[in-house]
Amino acid sequence: MFATHRVFVFITILIVGACLGVPSFAQDLVPAPDRRADEGVGPFDQLVIKDCIVIDGTGAPPRGPVNVLIKQNRIEKISSGKIPEDVDHVIEAVGMYLLPGFVDMHAHLGSLQKAPEAEYCYKLWMAHGVTTVRGVPLNGNNEWVIKEKDRSAKNEIVAPRIVNYQRPPGNLKTAEEARQWVEAAPGQGIEGLKLGAYRPEIMQALLREAERLRLGSVAHLAQTGVAHMDAMDAARMGLGTVTHYYGHFEALLKDHVVQPWPTDYNYNNEQDRFGQVARLWDKIHPPGSPEWKAYLEEHLELGTVFDPTMTIYSAGRDLMRARRAEWHDQYTLPSLMQFFEPSRKNHGSYWFDWTTEDEVAWRNFYHVWMQLINDYKKMGGRVTTGADSGFIYDTYGFGYIEELELLQEAGFHPLEVIQCATMNGAKTIFDPKRKSIEFGVIQPGLLADMFLIEENPLQNLKVLYGHGALRLNDETGEPGRVGGVRWTIKDGVVYDAKQLLADVAAMVEAQKKAPPPAEASEAQKEASEEPEPAKPEAGENKQENDKTEEPDVEPSKPDKDQR
Ligand SMILES: [Zn+2]
C-alpha cells in the first residue's frame, strides 16, 4: 500500500513534468498529504497529562509529578492536585518527562533529488519533538511555503509550525532596491530575512528596513563576502542572528584582514571551501584574549543571537562516523543518502579526497568554536539550536538531536541545552515582532507545543534520538534501546511519535523497493539545481539560480555580481 502510494506520487511528478513539456524543475516539492483521521487526536476541551515530570524550558530544574491541564491548544494549569472529573483525554505519564516542543531555527526541506515529499521531513522533525521550524527558507518558493504554513497552522497536515524567512535576491544593485524588496516582504507573508554577506550599503538598507517592519534577520556570512561583512559589521547594522560560524573567526583574525587562504584556493571547489575554513582556528586572537572578550562583549551589548548549527559540519571531524550513523539504514531515504555521497555536483558532498589532516583541522576548529559559543553563553549571550539538515550526512530530526549533544560537548549543562532548544528559539522568533513568546516554555497561557519521553534527557541527550539510546539490559544481558519521543503535542493535537517514525521508515523502505528510474534521477538532478527562488517582487529573482536551494552553504551569492 505504502510502496504503491509512493511510486504513484513519484510517477505523477514525472508525468506532470512531461505533459507540461518542461523540465521537471518547474515542479516543486510534494506538499504534505492531508492529515488522516488516525493521525493525531485532539485538540480536546480538556486534556490532562498526568503525573509527569516537567522540564519547562526556562532553565528551571525538573519538577514532578505534576498534572498539566490543557484546554484546546493552550496550557491552562500545572498542579499536583486532583484532576478535573470531566476531562476528555488523559495521558498517563508516570515517570515520563514533559518538555516544550523543540524549535529548529535553521530548517530547509529537501529537493526533488533528495527528498521530494515534504512529509518525510515533517514527520522526522515531529518524531523528534520539533514542533516549530524556522525555514531559512523552508523552500525558496514562497507561495508554496505560505500554503504549507497555513495548512500546518490549521493542523490539516502533520507538520511543525512553520516560520517563513526568505532570501532577498542575490543581485540587488542599490540600497533603494534592497529597501523596496524588504518593504514588500510582509505583504508576501515573509516574517524574516535570510541574508548573505551583502556589501555594506545593501546590508544596511536590508537590516534597517527589516527593523522598521519588525522582521527578523539571520545571516550566513559566506566567505565570498565576509571580507567586507563579518559578524561584527553585520551585528552593528542590526543583524539579529549569526548562523553557522561564518563571520566570527574572520572578525577575530590576528595577522590578516582576510583569511590567509592557499594561493590555489578556489571557492567553487567545495573541498577547498569546506576544508580550508577549518584552518582558521589558529589564525585568530586566542580564546580568552582581550580581543576575544571584547568581541563577545560587543555582541552581547548588541543582542546578537548565535545559531551555530554545529551538527551540519560535524562530519568533517570524523567522516566515517557520519556516513555510518545508526539511523541511516532505516530513516535516511536512499535518494538523500546518495546526495550525501562524494560528488562534485551535489552541494556539501565535498569528500573528494578527505584526509586525516582535514579531520584534525576540523577537530581543532570545533575546540575553539565551542569555546566561543560557550563563552558567549556564560556572559549571558543567547544561543539557539538549528540543524540545517539535508546536507553533509545530516538527516532531519536526528541531526537536530546531535546539535544538542554538541552543545553539551561545548560546555552547556543539559538544562542550558534544553533552554537553547526551546525558550531561546521562541524568543528569537518573537522578539523581532516585539511580541512575547507563544510557545517554547511550559507555562500556563502558552500554546500546547510539547513532547513526552519515557527517559530523562538530562541524564542522556541520546535518548532523544528517534531510534533511542543504546543501553545494556542487565536482566537479559543483551543491549537494547531506550527512549525516543513517545508523544509529540503540537497545538493541542497529540501525535504518536513512534508511529510518525514508523511512517518514515516505511517511506524509506518503499524507496528501496522501488528506486526512482535512472532517467528520472537525471531529470531530478537538474531539477534541484534550479530551484525557484523566493518572489516577494515578481521577476526580481530570475538571475539568482545558482545553488539557491543550498541553504546552508550559499545564501545567495550576493557578491557574485559585485566583483
Ligand atoms: Zn541552511
Ligand 1 centroid to 105 CA: how many Å?
10
- Angle among Cα 364, 553, 133 to the nearest 5 degrees reads 100
Cβ(169)–Cβ(175) below 8 Å: no
Ligand 1 centroid to 413 CA: how many Å?
26
Residue 7, pLDDT score = 45
* pTM exceeds 0.75 for this model: yes
Ligand 1 centroid to 218 CA: how many Å?
10
Q: How far apart are CA 10 and CA 197, in angstroms?
A: 37
- CA 251 to chain centroid, in Å, comes to 25
C-alpha cell at 224: 565570498
Ligand 1 centroid to 79 CA: how many Å?
40
Ligand 1 centroid to 136 CA: how many Å?
6
Ligand 1 centroid to 364 CA: how many Å?
23
C-alpha cell at 344: 562534485
97: closest CA among 448, 455, 415?
455
Measuring CA to CA, how many Å separate 79 from each of 51, 53, 63, 101? 10, 11, 11, 20
Q: What is the pLDDT along the chain (563 residues), one digit of tens a residue?
A: 344 444 444 444 444 333 333 333 447 999 999 999 999 999 999 999 999 999 999 999 999 999 999 999 999 999 998 888 899 999 999 999 999 999 999 999 999 999 999 999 999 999 999 999 999 999 999 999 999 999 999 999 999 999 999 999 989 999 999 999 999 999 999 999 999 999 999 999 999 999 999 999 999 999 999 999 999 999 999 999 999 999 999 999 999 999 999 999 999 999 999 999 999 999 999 999 999 999 999 999 999 999 999 999 999 999 999 999 999 999 999 999 999 999 999 999 999 999 999 999 999 999 999 999 999 999 999 999 999 999 999 999 999 999 999 999 999 999 999 999 999 999 999 999 999 999 999 999 999 999 999 999 999 999 999 999 999 999 999 999 999 999 999 999 999 999 999 999 999 999 999 876 654 444 444 444 333 333 333 333 333 333 333 444 443 333 333 32
Q: How far apart are CA 160 and CA 134, in angstroms?
A: 10
Ligand 1 centroid to 243 CA: how many Å?
8
Ligand 1 centroid to 95 CA: how many Å?
37
Q: Annotate 384-439 with DSSP letters as a single string.
A: ------SSTT--TTHHHHHHHHHHHHHT--HHHHHHIIIIIHHHHHHGGGT---SS
Q: How far apart are CA 399 and CA 115, in angstroms?
A: 16
Ligand 1 centroid to 107 CA: how many Å?
6
Instruction: Determine the longest span between alpha carbons in the chain, in angstroms.
Output: 74
> H-helix or E-strand containing 563?
none
- Angle among Cα 384, 183, 426 to the nearest 5 degrees reads 20
Q: How far apart are CA 460 and CA 440, in angstroms?
A: 21
Give bridge partners of residue 44 from the DSSP assignment: 72
Residue 4, pLDDT score = 44
End-to-end CA distance of the chain: give it in Å, rounded: 54
Ligand 1 centroid to 553 CA: how many Å?
6
Task: Kindly list the protein residues that place their beta carbon closer than 5 angstroms to ligand 1, a single-atom ion.
Answer: 388, 551-552
- CA 527 to chain centroid, in Å, comes to 23
Write the CB contacts of 546 (distance below 8 Å, at least 6 apart in sequence). Answer: 554, 557, 560
DSSP type of residue 253: B
Ligand 1 centroid to 538 CA: how many Å?
23
Ligand 1 centroid to 44 CA: how many Å?
36
Ligand 1 centroid to 146 CA: how many Å?
19
C-alpha cell at 324: 555510518
Ligand 1 centroid to 220 CA: how many Å?
8
Ligand 1 centroid to 387 CA: how many Å?
8
Give bridge partners of residue 162 from the DSSP assignment: 133
Write the CB contacts of 125 (distance below 8 Å, at least 6 apart in sequence). Answer: 104, 107, 133, 159, 160, 396, 397, 400
Ligand 1 centroid to 389 CA: how many Å?
8
The owner of cell 535516511 is: 332
Q: How far apart are CA 281 and CA 294, in angstroms?
A: 18
- By DSSP bridging, strand 74-79 and strand 305-307 are unpaired
Q: 95: left (phi > 0), else alpha (psi -120 to 50), else beta?
A: left
Ligand 1 centroid to 50 CA: how many Å?
39
Ligand 1 centroid to 219 CA: how many Å?
10
Ligand 1 centroid to 110 CA: how many Å?
11
Ligand 1 centroid to 16 CA: how many Å?
29
Residue 517, pLDDT score = 63
Is CATH 3.40.50.10490 the classification given to domain 102-442?
Answer: no
Give bridge partners of residue 92 from the DSSP assignment: 50
Ligand 1 centroid to 491 CA: how many Å?
26
Ligand 1 centroid to 383 CA: how many Å?
17
Q: How far apart are CA 113 and CA 109, in angstroms?
A: 12
